[in-house]
Amino acid sequence: MLAFAAVASGANPKPNTIVIFTDDQTYRGIGYNNPEVKTPHLDALAASGITFERAYVASPICAASRASMMTGRFPQQHGVMGLGSGAFAPYRTGAPAASQSLAYQLAKAGYCTAFFGKSHLGQPRNYGFEVGEEVGDHGDVKLFEQASEFIRSQKKDAKPFFLWLAPNQPHVPLRPQAKWLDLYPKGSIHLPKNFRTEPAKASLNNQGLPGQAMYRDSDYRDNLDRLPAGPPRDEATMLAFTRAYYAVVSRLDDQVGEFVKLLRDGGLMENTVVIFLSDNGYHLGSHGLGNKITMHEESVRVPMFAFGAGVKSGQKTRALVSALDVYPTLLALAGADSPPQPLMGKSLLPLFKDPTAPIRETVFSECVGVGGKAGQGHRMARGERWKLILSDANEEFLFDLKEDPFELTNRRDDPDLAPTLAKHRQELADWMKSIGDRPYPMTANLKP
């Protein structure tokens, strides 16, 4: 905290904090990870601070991920495990766990708390935010207008503010204007190495209950206003969809650039820290899938970076980072106490000072509420090199992310990797127990 107080301007020693939290933006959906994507503003902002090259969400599905961000805990701990937000009721104002809310904690620390954009958990004022509302316009025009108005009302020597800015983009429907589509002429986009026209019939790819059609196997034709949910997804269809997706990301890039310019023009960036990330990733035909939900990299890994007061520019870190780390990082910046229930993330401030600082050996994720049955779904333990996935059918998949970043070969039955499998299996079992999950299944019942 002292390093940040030293660079603060005006009468207030606490930095303002802003989280920009996009919707369905995969880690390959940004220019610094994929040069085919035109995001000059986001690339420059990332370069002006620290880029988290291996960032993972607590759960690759909208409501569960957002509830995790607001509570600092995994879905099976806070109860929001799928798309519905009914289980979030205990965290709303006046309810038993309301003080666990990130907004509540920062308001308690002396911050003006504001929210504009997609909530997915009900009106933000119902879970601790003092200013703002859920804004559902898909192009995010109203969202950025309201957020900009809020910024213009702030004074350098006023009460510090915490702003949660949650664009709806690049979630479907995709309706980019021609000027953004024109950034992507024919031949400028290529499908990834793991593109398939339809998914393999493996539990790894399930996006509902075991054996359920849902997103994986739904068979209908799509247009750019619809999620390409099921096969066949031929190459031309996915190229057109990906082009529209990238165009929407480019439009969002321009909006974020204008917003940050407003912060700088008002002199607020001198004492403001901004963290950018997404609620989950997105399959753009990878593994033959649309949507998210699985534990593939495209689904569970997101772009993430931080910049602003006290954050040295030009830094990149290979540390394994969780979206859950945002909550304790903001508390540390505010000099605030921890909430009643233990947080599952770790402060990122050590990485701000030293990108090689040790944070964790393994990062975890779960998606266990799709299909309406709580606890049914996928879990992941991702270490420095290896990722172990426990599927919804209790099958294990072990991927070498160094040699096989597209996750094409399951190494689970490689006898030379038995110690690696055992290590990650024990880590995943211990983590599942720590969050109140079911016991790790007996290995004798596991299928190769």
Q: Evaluate whether 70 touches 339 at the Cβ level (below 8 Å).
A: no
Residue 219: count of CB within 10 angstroms of its CB:
10
Pairing of strands 386-390, 396-400: antiparallel
Q: Could you report the per-residue pLDDT of 332-372, keeping only the tens digit for each?
A: 999 999 999 999 999 999 999 999 999 999 999 999 988 66
3-state secondary structure of 31: coil
| pTM exceeds 0.85 | yes
- Kindly report the CA angle at 22 between 251 and 85, in degrees rounded to 5? 140
Q: Could you report the per-residue pLDDT of 278-308, keeping only the tens digit for each?
A: 999 999 999 998 889 999 999 999 999 999 9
Q: Domains in the chain, please, with CATH?
A: 2-176+236-358 (3.40.720.10), 364-445 (3.30.1120.10)
CA atoms of 21 and 1, how far apart (whole Å): 23
Structure tokens given for 387: 């990722």
Q: Flag whether pLDDT at 3 surpasses 50.
A: no
Q: Evaluate whether 82 touches 60 at the Cβ level (below 8 Å).
A: no
- Kindly report the CA angle at 394 between 404 and 446, in degrees rounded to 5? 90
Nearest to 326 by CA among 312, 306, 342: 306
CA atoms of 110 and 270, how far apart (whole Å): 19
Q: Could you report the per-residue pLDDT of 217-231, keeping only the tens digit for each?
A: 443 334 444 444 456
What are the start-end ranges of the H helices in 61-213? 62-71, 75-78, 102-108, 141-152, 178-181
Q: Could you report the per-residue pLDDT of 362-411, keeping only the tens digit for each?
A: 999 999 988 666 778 999 999 999 999 999 889 999 999 999 999 999 99
- Better pLDDT: 241 or 156: 241
Q: Could you report the per-residue pLDDT of 94-150, keeping only the tens digit for each?
A: 998 999 999 999 999 999 999 999 999 999 999 999 999 998 888 999 999 999 999
